[in-house]
C-alpha cells in the first residue's frame, strides 16, 4: 500500500506531472483518464485507489519509465499478486461497509450482515489455504507459481480475529435480537424465562402471526403491538428499535449540519443548539402526533 500511495502522490502531487499523466492515459487508450487520491481519514478510498491503480498499472509502469522513475517491484509477479489480493480484500470490505450505510437499518439487520461476513472470512481462509481464488477475481487474473497463498490465508485469519474481537458484544446479546426479529420461530427453551410465557401466548395467536408474515418491514409488525398482553416483548421491541445500528446518522449530522459552524452563525451555536439539532437530525423521519401533544398540554 505504501508503494501505491507514494506513486499516486507522485502522479497527482505535481501539476505538470498530473497533466502529462492524464494526457498519457488518453493516448494509451485507457478507459479512465485519472487516478483518485487515497485519503487516510476515509479509509474506504483505499479500495477505490487500489482497484483503479491495478487497472491502470500497465499505463502507470510505462509512464514512470518514460519519466525516468521506474518501479522494480511492478515487474515482480509475486508483488503484483499481493497487490491483486489487497484489491479484492479491500473491495469486499468496501461492499460490506456500503451495505450498512443509510437510514432505516435495524441493529438486527446489521448484526446479520456482520455475521454473514465473518462466515465469508472463514470460507475464504479455507479456500486460500487450498489455493482456491474463486472469490478473488483480481487475484485470479494474477496467479503465479510463487503466490503467497499461506500468507493470504493468514491475513484473512487476522481479519477474522479482529472482527470477532470488535463485535463480540453482538454475540453476547444474540438471544434478544433473535426474539425481536423472529418471535414466531424462536425456540422457547432457548430464551430467558421472562419471555417464555409471553412467546407461547404470542405464537398461539394466528392473527398476529399472519401480520408478522405479511409485514414487508419488521417495524410495521410492531406498530400497534399489544403492550398490555406482552409487556416484556413490547419493551424488548422498543429497545431493539431504538438502538443505533451504526454511526451513520451522527456522521451525517457532523458533516452536514455542523458545517454551519464555519459561517457567520457560528457565534450563535451553544450546547443546547447542538443537542437540539442532533435530535432533529436523528428523528427527522418521524411524524409528530400534534393532536396527542395538544391534548397532553
Distances (CA, A) of 216 to 57, 133, 184, 210, 294: 46, 37, 16, 12, 33
Domain boundaries in the chain? 1-75, 76-99+117-171, 175-242, 248-285
CA neighbor of 49 nearest in space, from 2, 101, 81, 15: 2
Residue 192 has φ and ψ, to the nearest 5°, of -55, 155
| Torsion, Cα of 257, 261, 265, 268 (10° steps) | 100
pLDDT in tens, 64-80: 888 888 788 888 888 88
CB atoms within 10 A of CB 52: 16
Confidence of residue 91 (pLDDT cuts 50, 70, 90): very high
CA angle 182–188–190, rounded 5-degree value: 90
Higher model confidence: residue 116 or residue 256? 116
Q: Tell me the three state secondary structure of residue 41.
A: coil
CA angle 45–154–112, rounded 5-degree value: 60
DSSP state of 39: -
pLDDT of residue 128: 94
Distance, in Å, from the CA atom of 221 to the CA atom of 279, rounded to the nearest integer, reads 25
Please say if the pLDDT value at position 161 is more than 90. yes
Helices then strands, counting H and E runs in the chain, come out as: 17, 0
Provide the CB-side half-sphere exposure for 27 (13 A, CA).
Answer: 9
Confidence of residue 203 (pLDDT cuts 50, 70, 90): very high
Cell reading at 165: 474481537
pLDDT of residue 123: 96
Confidence of residue 270 (pLDDT cuts 50, 70, 90): confident
pLDDT of residue 265: 57
pLDDT of residue 99: 86
Q: Is 137 left (phi over 0), alpha (psi -120 to 50) or beta?
A: alpha
Confidence of residue 24 (pLDDT cuts 50, 70, 90): confident
CA neighbor of 153 nearest in space, from 135, 117, 132, 126: 126
Q: Are 112 and 240 in contact (CB under 8 A)?
A: no
- Chain CA centroid to CA 134, Å: 22
Cell reading at 209: 402471526
Task: Output the DSSP codes for 179-202.
Answer: HHH-TTTS-GGGS-HHHHHHHHHH
Segment 175-204 shows an average pLDDT of 90
Single pTM value for the model: 0.76
CA angle 248–97–280, rounded 5-degree value: 10
pLDDT of residue 263: 63
Distance, in Å, from the CA atom of 247 to the CA atom of 281, rounded to the nearest integer, reads 13
Q: Are 267 and 121 in contact (CB under 8 A)?
A: no
Q: Are 87 and 54 in contact (CB under 8 A)?
A: yes
Q: 56-64: long-range contacts at Cβ-Cβ below 8 A with a sequence spacing of 24 or more?
A: 56/25, 56/30, 56/32, 59/24, 59/25, 59/28, 59/30, 60/7, 60/11, 60/35, 62/24, 62/28, 63/11, 63/20, 63/21, 63/24, 64/7
pLDDT in tens, 283-294: 666 677 778 777
Amino acid at each position: 500500500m505504501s508503494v501505491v500511495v507514494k506513486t499516486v502522490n507522485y502522479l497527482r502531487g505535481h501539476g505538470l506531472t498530473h497533466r502529462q499523466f492524464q494526457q498519457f492515459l488518453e493516448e494509451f487508450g485507457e478507459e479512465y483518464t485519472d487516478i483518485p487520491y487515497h485519503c487516510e481519514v476515509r479509509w474506504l478510498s483505499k479500495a477505490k485507489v487500489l482497484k483503479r491503480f491495478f487497472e491502470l498499472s500497465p499505463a502507470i509502469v510505462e509512464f514512470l519509465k518514460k519519466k525516468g522513475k521506474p518501479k522494480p517491484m511492478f515487474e515482480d509477479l509475486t508483488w503484483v499478486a499481493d497487490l491483486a489480493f489487497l484489491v479484492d480484500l479491500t473491495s469486499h470490505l468496501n461492499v460490506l461497509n456500503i451495505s450498512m450505510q443509510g437510514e432505516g437499518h435495524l441493529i438486527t439487520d446489521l448484526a446479520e450482515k456482520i455475521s454473514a461476513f465473518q462466515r465469508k472470512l472463514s470460507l475464504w481462509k479455507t479456500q486460500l489455504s487450498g489455493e482456491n481464488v474463486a472469490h478473488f477475481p483480481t487475484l485470479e487474473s494474477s496467479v503465479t507459481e510463487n503466490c503467497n497463498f499461506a500468507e493470504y490465508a493468514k491475513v484473512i485469519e487476522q481479519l477474522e480475529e479482529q472482527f470477532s474481537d470488535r463485535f463480540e458484544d453482538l454475540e453476547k446479546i444474540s438471544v434478544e435480537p433473535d426474539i425481536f426479529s423472529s418471535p414466531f420461530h424462536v425456540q422457547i427453551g432457548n430464551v430467558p424465562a421472562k419471555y417464555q410465557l409471553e412467546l407461547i401466548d404470542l405464537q398461539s395467536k394466528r392473527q398476529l402471526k399472519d401480520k408478522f408474515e405479511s409485514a414487508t418491514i419488521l417495524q410495521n409488525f410492531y406498530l400497534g403491538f399489544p403492550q398490555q398482553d406482552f409487556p416484556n416483548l413490547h419493551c424488548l421491541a422498543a429497545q431493539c428499535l431504538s438502538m443505533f445500528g451504526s454511526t451513520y446518522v451522527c456522521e451525517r449530522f457532523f458533516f452536514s449540519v455542523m458545517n454551519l459552524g464555519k459561517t457567520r452563525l457560528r457565534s450563535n451555536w451553544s450546547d443546547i443548539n447542538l443537542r437540539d439539532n442532533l435530535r432533529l437530525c436523528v428523528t427527522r423521519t418521524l411524524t409528530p402526533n400534534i393532536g396527542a401533544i395538544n391534548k397532553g398540554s
